[in-house]
Amino acid sequence: MRPELRILLGLLAVLGLVAPAAAGTTGVLGIGHVATQADIAAYDIDVRADGAGLPPGRGSVAEGKELFAATCAACHGDKGQGGQADVLAGGKGTLATAKPVKTVGSFWPYATTLFDYVNRAMPFTAPQSLSADQVYAVSAYVLFLNGLVPEDATLDAQSLPRVAMPNRNGFTSDPRPDVPPVARN
């Protein structure tokens, strides 16, 4: 809607001459600007479990190893064994023990989540600074550290969602309230 028309309709609405719904084609109240995909592309970064949202590009375990050493290892350890920040690798078979170790390999249900998270929030000191190729590469390396892709793997929008995650079916829905009620004395 042209700004002048929007102002006119707003004035008419204030005067009670038209109902708000008369703003019609631009929505119930007609507030805001209709967004094109180009407008919002820089914000529209989410990647779903089925791979929707993954950008073009590709990255290898070897490339990821180099990048990981330079930008991730200081906090996560050179093999993802953890340090100041979370453990990323290992922990297989520990979830039902007294000391569970929740890592990408032992716990995360989707490889796509790894791409999404690195892409939006890592590296910690410079979030959203990596290229798509670099995010594929570092994702590939972390998956390699967990034994989930071979050392010569290269990942892209087709192959990343197909990485089989060991704990894919490890999640249940919320059964609460789950504690039997006590009688109040």
Partner 1 sequence: MSFASSGGRLGRRQFLGGAAAGLVAGTASGAAAQGQGPLQGALQVPAWTREQGEGVASPPYGVPSPFEKAVGRRPRTKPAFPTAASTGTPLQDLHGIITPSGLHYERHHAGVPAIDPEQHRLVIHGLVDRPLVLTMNDIARFPSVSRLWFLECSGNTPQWTGGSAKWTVQETHGLISCSEWTGVRLSTLLDEVGLRPQGRWILAEGADGAAMSRSIPLDVALDDALIAYAQNGEHLRPEQGYPLRLVLPGIEGNMSIKWLRRLKVGDQPFQTREETSKYTDLMPDGTARQFTFVMEAKSVITSPSGGHQLRDKGFYEIRGLAWSGRGRITAVDVSTDGGATWRRAELQAPVLSRCLTRFRLPWTWEGGPALLQSRAVDETGYVQPVRQQLVDVRGVNSQYHFNGIQTWKVEPTGEVSNAA
Lookup: tokens for 153: 């793997």
CB closer to partner 1 out of 93 and 150: 93
Tell me which stretch binds partner 1 (CB under 8 A): 38-46, 54-62, 137-145, 147-155: 38-46
Q: What H or E segment, with its residue span, contains residue 68?
A: helix 61-71
Lookup: tokens for 36: 């094109």
- CA 58 and chain centroid, separation: 17
Q: How many residues bind partner 1 (CB under 8 A)?
A: 53
Among 7, 24, 44, 147, binds partner 1 (CB under 8 A): 44
From CA 132, how far away is CA 166, in angstroms rounded?
Answer: 25
Among 14, 15, 16, 43, binds partner 1 (CB under 8 A): 43
From CA 142, how far away is CA 144, in angstroms rounded?
Answer: 5
- Say how many C-beta atoms besides its own lie within 10 A of residue 107's C-beta: 18
Tell me which stretch binds partner 1 (CB under 8 A): 44-52, 63-71, 132-140, 149-157: 44-52
Burial of 60 (0-12, 13-18, 19+ CB in 10 A): buried
Contacting partner 1 within 90-149 (CB under 8 A): 95-96, 98, 100, 102, 104, 107-110, 112-113, 116-117, 120-121, 124, 127-128
Q: What H or E segment, with its residue span, contains residue 59?
A: strand 58-60
Among 3, 15, 33, 162, binds partner 1 (CB under 8 A): 33
Binding mask 159-178 for partner 1 (x = CB under 8 A): -----------xxxxxxxxx
Which residue is listed with tokens 């594929």?
A: 136
**Binding interface with partner 1 (CB under 8 A):** 26-29, 31-35, 39-40, 43-46, 48-49, 84-85, 95-96, 98, 100, 102, 104, 107-110, 112-113, 116-117, 120-121, 124, 127-128, 170-182, 184-185
